Structures are given as C-alpha cells and as structure tokens.
Structure 1
Amino acid sequence: MDWGFDYLKYDNCYIPFDNLTQVNEVGRFQKMADAIAAVAGRTGTAPFWYSLCEWGWQQPWIWGVTMAQSWRIDGDIKPYWPNIAAIIDQASFQYWGSDFYGHNDYDIMEVGNTGQGVPPGNLTYEEAKTHFTAWALFKSPLIIGTDLTNATDETIEILSIKDLIKINQDPHIGKSISPFDWGVNPDYVSNSTHPAEYWSGNSSYGVVFMILNSQDTPATMFWQLINSWAVRAGRQYNVYDMWSHTHNGTAVRNMTLELPAHGVAALLLTDAGPEPPAEYPWCAVDNHCSYRNGTYAIHNGQLPTT
C-alpha cells in the first residue's frame, strides 16, 4: 500500500461533544495513532510522520511522544517579532519535551513572509535569522511556510544554513538546547518581550550555543562558559560561527560579542585542551570557588589577577 503522503497534521478544530466521543483530546488523537499503526502492520509499510495540533491546550509535550512524532505547543504563529519572541519564551519552559523520538512543534516557519499577508509580515533580516536559528536548535520540525518560487536571496540564504540544519537533524542527539541565563529578564521568569537570551546544548559535533539579543537596540552580550552544563571546567574551546561559517579563535572561561537588535549568534564549540595555566583562580564559577588553601575566592564574575 502506498499512502500517497508521508506527513499527517491532525488538527483539533470542531471538537465533537464529549457525550459522543467521551475520550478527551488524548483519546481522539490516540484513535488516529491506533489506525495508523493497524494499517502499517497489516500492509507491512512504514507509518508516516504523525503531527498533533491542539495548540498546547492539554500539555502535549507530556504525552505526545506516546503516539506521535511532533506536537504543537502554542497558538498559530504570525510573521511579527513579538509573536516569535513569545514562542521562544514558551520554549524556555517546554524545551525538555523534545527528544530523539518526539519533538515540540513551534509551528510552520515565517521566514520569507515579510511584506506578505494581511496585515503583511514585518520580520527584519536579523529577526528572520533568529527565528530560523531558534527553530533549528529547538529541534522543531523545519516546515517552510513561504512561497519559494518568489523567495528572495536572503530567504534562501536563511533556509539553507546547513550548519544549523545539521544540528536540527543530528542522528544521535535529539534534545533541544536549553536556557542557562535569561539575560535582561530574571532567570526562570516568563517574559514574552524579553525571553531567555543565553542557550546551550550538546550535539554530535560539539557544544552548541545560541545567544539572543531580545532588546530593540544593539547590545553587548557577555556570558561565562561554565554556566552551561554542556561545558567542561578547566577547558578552552575552539569557536565556530554557524552563520558566517568561520573559525573565530579560542574561548577561555567567558565570551563577549556584539549583536544587533533582535539578532542572534549560533556557535559551535569544540574542546581545545586544558585552559592556559595562568588562569586564576582554579575554578571559573562565581560561588563556592576556592583557592588551594581552602579559602573562598569570591570574584563576582571578575577573575582576580595573580
């Protein structure tokens, strides 16, 4: 049997009365999953990708993986920065729902839809880059939502960034990146205008960092590497920029870069051996760091000189 398609988005519109279905959302989606599995088993064909769409109403990031490969976590996306920022903010609390066999779906991408629609989309080039970067590193399905026959060179450039697609399609690691510092907003507090700005995660190719400037003006972004769980203490790292495709030297303990308004950096760090012996004190964290004699070295982000 040939299905004739390899992807099914099963929507939640026009929900029947409960006195007819008596199964709630989980039960309705499970019925379709059972039907897909039954036909695949009877015909010996591989089942297609099953995508749930109930807009996060009943926490599909908890149960979606029991029956499907992806699930929407929010309402319909729109081609405006406030909407993209709000989805990134939600991702900072639901990132853990994505793994190798199932993925949070942050909705179809709006890259390339500037000037289209009613009212027309207004994402800037930097915002579109941030949008694509986040979706790729969140391990969301990368579904193109624009007319490629009329796509600009900038749109094609963004949608063709192989370094980011490679992370999204990592054959061994399916987990999303996660935030380790919120930046403008207090840590672990939701803010749809200023979502978490400092994200990291692991990949088959190295440690991944996404740095986001949520502000409306250019900003200097500074962070300590060791604040990311994926970084090893006492090591230095080679830095590869996944947007410029350039190798940008070696990072020791912290990094600083400049980003435009709503801009993004996507970095891949690989181990470059022990950090230089001159680094002092012997641990890079701010709290509970001690000297060899056992006394605390409290430096508040600034490494003291020897």
Structure 2
Amino acid sequence: MTAVTVLLGLLATGALALENGVGKLPVLGFNTWNLYGCDYTADILLEQAQAIVDHGLLDAGYNNFMLDDCYSLKERNKKGNIVEDPKKFPHGMKAFTTSLSKLGFRAGIYSDAGYRTCGGFPGSYGNEARDLKTFTDWGFQYLKYDNCYIPFDNVTQENVYGRYQRMVDAIAAHADKTKTDPVQLALCEWGWQQPWVWGARLGQSWRIGGDIRPWWSALSSIINQASFIASSTKFSARNDLDILEVGNTGVGTPPGNLTFDEAKSHFTAWALLKSPLLISSDMASATRETLSILENKDILRIHQDPHVGESVVPFRWGWNADYTWDPAHPAEYWTGNSSYGVVVMVLNTQDETREMGFNLTESWAVRAGRGYEVYDLWSHTRNGTAYRNVTVTVPAHGVAALLLNDAGPEPEGLEPFCGGWWQCSFPNGTYYSN
C-alpha cells in the first residue's frame, strides 16, 4: 500500500466521521472540572443542574451537562469494565443521567486515549469499544477524550491521530450496530499536534491549548493563539478554547478573579469564535452580573446560527502589526458573517480605556459605498447609521460587539471616493490618492 493510498484512506474516513449527523452547532452547557475537580457527588452535581434550570439558562440553550474526570474507581472490575465510584454515585450512573435527562439535559462524560485519565483513573486505550458501550449504557451521548498516560510508541505504532482514530472507529461501529446516533466526540489534545489541521476528520471539536485559568493573561494568550487558526471553525468542526471562566469557578488565587469587563470579553470572544460554551462556575450562587453575561441572547443567537458555521476572524491586529504573535496583546479587530448581519468584535487588550475605530471596508463582509445600521450586542440598542467609519469606547480588557446591517447607498459626494485607497482609480485610469 502506498503512502498516497494511506493518506487518501485517512481523509475518506475523516470525512465520514465529520459528517456523522451530530454536533453541527457548538455545544452549550456545564462542565464539572474547574469548579469541582474530583471533589463531587451526584447530589452536588444535580444541585448545579437544577440551578441552571432555575436561572433560565437551560431555556437559553445550556442543555449539555459534562461529567469530567474522577467519576470511577481506580481500577476496572474483573470483566474489564469501568465501574462508577459508589460513594459519588450511590444509585448508579444510569440513575444520575436519568435525573439529568428529566431536567432536560444531554449527558456527557470524559475518558482518555491513554492507559489512564489525567486524574489517574482508567483510560480507554485498548478498551475503546468496551468503554463506549459502558458510556452509552449509562446514558451518555457526548465524550470528551483526553491525551494523558500515552502508551509507548512501539506499542501503539501510532501518533495522537491514530490513537484518537481508534475511538472514532468504535463510535461509528456502535452507532451502526445499535442504529443510534453517534456519540459526539470532543478531542482534548491541547494543541500539541495542531488539531486545527486534522481534528475535523475525527471529532466535532478540538482543544487548541492547555487548561484555562481565570485571569486575563490566560484569556489573552488563548485569544492570541485562536487569531491564527480561527478560520478552521465550521459546522460540525470547531476550535475549542476550553471552559468558560465566567463567575466563581473555584480555581486560581483568588478564584474567578476576572473583572466584569474581562468576563464579557471572555464570553464574547468564545461565543463569536464558535467555541463550545461550557460553564464551570457555581451556578447555585451565581450573581446577577454573571447571569447577565451568560444569558446574552443576541450573542448566543450568533453562536447558534443555523446557517453560518464560521467564526469571526481578525481583520486588523491593532496594537501590533498584523500577524504578530503576542500572548499579552492579541488581535483586536475581528469580523465575520451571520444570518443576522455582519459581526464585528473590537477587543481592547490594553490596561486603560481607549477610543477604538475601524473603516467599514476593512471587513470582508461589508459592501463598500453603503451605510450600515449599527446594533450593539451588549447594550441591545440601535446606534444609528455608520458611513465609512465606526468608533467605539472600550474599557480596559473590555470588548465591543456590533452587528452591522446594510442601510442603503451612502450619501453623494463623500470623500475620499474609496474607503480603502489601494488601487482606487478614476474611469480614465488615473489613480485617486487620498
């Protein structure tokens, strides 16, 4: 078999995995890890699920409940199966997912492509089909798949792609055998081997880096990385920027120490970049400020756009020259299309409030020579019609999120005659100079 044949086979398999009918849109929901780590019980988690319902976030779309690491005993049973921890789940895992389902949630679970999970519990390498059956028998429909405790190369004779392919094959075989929808797969590969290049062949999302932390420098670093790979996102396949740090997560010193403006920037960037939105905050004590961010219907509507799967991408770096790698000061000006208008995100990476502006024609999605009605996705107000330029005041580490809609031709006689000067010409071939 030639190398070309092998490559074509991988591409064909990946295309089938991508178009398997699940995960067209990014998920919204809750993840247990940043809030609890390994310290939880079924009752504690169901309290969080009930709080999500009570706050109206289930109705807003947060309908996935993700059980992360540490749910099982440290060793498999004599039959080789993973066993739920009876102290954490005294009524069994099936009873837990049934309770979630009654509340309106789809249940997700965690495993690993190595011998053990990152927390040291049984991983799924060599047991992919067995574990997938266990997970689905328990009632789980979503699988976060991590990358710890990797077997030796001479054992796997595969790289990370091949180790993940084993679970993809198990998912496809199980769906075919049971005539059920495939389990949705979220690759937690940490960006080690550029999953934004190949991840769409295997799963519906892929982590682009390490675990998030609740401080601005961590967020800006993730946004910086995302600015170079944002175009990888599409329907059924997307960059995963990791868990939402909006509210008290219990992680860090002090926990959840983002300012309100930083939290808004965090949520806006994750949503408009079409990342999964998985809360890991204490929803039982959620503040009105936290809820006002998480329930922003205008931004969630774009995140869940049924007709446009792509994310926003940078059109100008702003503080830095374009394409500058700077974890402290990532790209500041972003744009994209949506079913509801042209989306623009302006991010202030500096430590003080700034006036920030852009020319409408810098956005690829805008038509030159026309005015645009400006709608603010945070104030939920219509702010008049813009011709040529838009200027916004953005607080330190804050964000402006705008929706632009065509308002017709711009007035006659506006100069310069071209919003962008490059190659602007009169009919006789003379260049127009601004």
- Residue in 2 aligned with 1:117? 251
Range moving further from structure 2, 2-11 or 46-55: 2-11
Alignment equivalent of 1:234, drawn from 369, 374, 378: 369
Paired with 1:271 and 1:223, the residues of 2 have a C-alpha distance of 17
Q: Is the 8 A contact 2:213 2:251 kept in 1?
A: no
Match for residue 281 of structure 1? 416
Query: In the TM superposition, what whole-angstrom CA distance separates every residue of 1:95-135 from its partner, at most 9, and x where no partner exists?
Result: 01111120100001101137x43422321000000000000
- Name the structure 2 match of 1:245: 380
Q: Secondary structure at the match of 1:203?
A: coil
Inter-partner Cα distance in structure 2 for 1:267 and 1:213: 14
Q: From the CA coordinates, give the structure whose radius of gyration is larger.
A: 2
Cα deviation 1:117-162 (Å, max 9, x = unaligned):
3422321000000000000000000111111111111111100001
Deviations 1:204-250 (A, max 9, x none): 11100000111100001011110111111111111111111111100
Q: Any gaps of 5 or more consecutive residues in structure 1?
A: 300-306
2:149 — aligned with what? 14
* Structure 2 residue aligned with 1:85: 220
Q: Write the mapping of 1:1-306 to structure 2, written as runs, cut at 5 A.
A: 4-113=139-248, 116-120=250-254, 121-299=256-434
Distance in structure 2 (CA, Å) of the matches to 1:258 and 1:294: 40
Q: Report SS of the residue matched to 2:169.
A: helix
Residue identity matched to 2:430: T
CA distance in 1, matches of 2:168, 2:401: 36
| Inter-partner Cα distance in structure 1 for 2:202 and 2:265 | 31
Give the structure 1 partner of residue 64 of structure 2: none
CA RMSD across the alignment: 1.3
Distance change >3 Å, CA 118–CA 268, structure 1 → 2 = closer
Q: Name whichever structure is richer in helix by fraction.
A: 2
2:359 and 2:389 in contact (8 A); partners too: yes
Q: CA deviation at 1:251?
A: 0.9
Shift of 1:297: 2.7
TM-score after normalising by structure 1 = 0.94
Please report how far the alpha carbon of residue 298 of structure 1 lies from its aligned counterpart in structure 2 after TM superposition.
Answer: 2.5
Q: Shift of the alpha carbon at 1:188?
A: 0.8
Cα displacement (A) at 1:286: 2.5
| Structure 2 unmatched runs, 5+ | 1-135
2: distance between equivalents of 1:95 and 1:175?
Answer: 8
Amino acid corresponding to residue 119 of structure 1 in structure 2:
T
2: distance between equivalents of 1:94 and 1:163? 25
Question: Which amino acid in 2 is paired with 1:170?
Answer: D
Describe the SS at the equivalent of 1:74.
Answer: coil
